[in-house]
Amino acid sequence: MADAIDIIRAQWAAAEPDVDTSPAEVVVRVLRIARILQKRSDDVLERLGMTRAEFDILSLLIRAGRPVSPTEICDQLWTSGAGTTKRLHKLTERRLIVRLPNPQDGRSMFAEATEAAREQVVPVLHELTRFEGQLIERLGGSKDSVVDALRTLLAAVEDDRAEPDPRALLRSTALRRPAPGRAAT
């Protein structure tokens, strides 16, 4: 069954036959799946009266079960300090978190989820995991092998050594001979 990625690869094969686009079979599909899942799960969150940022922060605080520093929130959620601070202020105003002094550093505060946050997040979590579970059921018996493959891919992506040197990439494309009938740039 062909999909949009197969069409894209065929177009590149016609336009640039020397380029091996086979990595797109995995990478572009993963990116496309991520975008679609993000949009659909954000729709579920919106219907339930919560934004993705609120859900992510409150979920982290509830899972942690302890006060968490804004730096730790930024690190775990890959968010900016300014954005996290803004969201923490809003969540504090809504009484979904409390701010507690950091005993080791009087200049910083920890964040901790309130019981009201738990009461809001847990039903949303149930609905979101139900929605996601319905999608994953379509994998059938191949779910475990997909999970294993994704775990392996994630480990490779998270390994800093797996990232190519952009200068080497530029050198390799700069040294490529132009296709017949095309001028070198």
User: Model confidence over 133-157: pLDDT tens digits?
Assistant: 999 999 998 999 999 999 999 999 8
Residues 124 and 78 in one domain: yes
Closest CA to 89 of 37, 62, 53: 53
> Which pLDDT value is given to residue 163?
56
Kindly report the pTM of this predicted structure. Answer: 0.75
177 found inside a domain: no
Cα gap 172→40, rounded to integer Å? 39
124 found inside a domain: yes
117 found inside a domain: yes
> Which pLDDT value is given to residue 105?
84
182 found inside a domain: no
165 found inside a domain: no
Q: Is the pLDDT of residue 2 over 90?
A: no
Residues 30 and 60 in one domain: no
Residues 92 and 68 in one domain: yes
154 found inside a domain: yes
Residues 96 and 19 in one domain: no
Name the CA dihedral angle for 129, 134, 139, 143, rounded to a multiple of 10 degrees.
30
What is the span of the domain harbouring residue 37? 1-47
Residue in the structure block whose two tokens are 């392996």: 152
Residues 38 and 66 in one domain: no
Residues 149 and 74 in one domain: yes
Residue in the structure block whose two tokens are 């890959």: 78
89 found inside a domain: yes
Residues 39 and 69 in one domain: no
User: Residues 96-128: pLDDT tens digits?
Assistant: 999 999 888 888 899 999 999 999 999 999 999
Residues 79 and 153 in one domain: yes
CB 84 within 8 A of CB 77: yes
* Percentage of the chain lying above the pLDDT 90 cut: 75
Q: Is the pLDDT of residue 175 over 50?
A: no
Question: Helix, strand, coil: what percent of the chain each, to 5?
Answer: 65, 10, 25
Flag the least confident range among 29-33, 116-120, 168-172: 168-172
Question: Which residue type is seen at 85?
Answer: T
Domain final residue pick, 32, 47, 62 = 47
Residues 74 and 43 in one domain: no
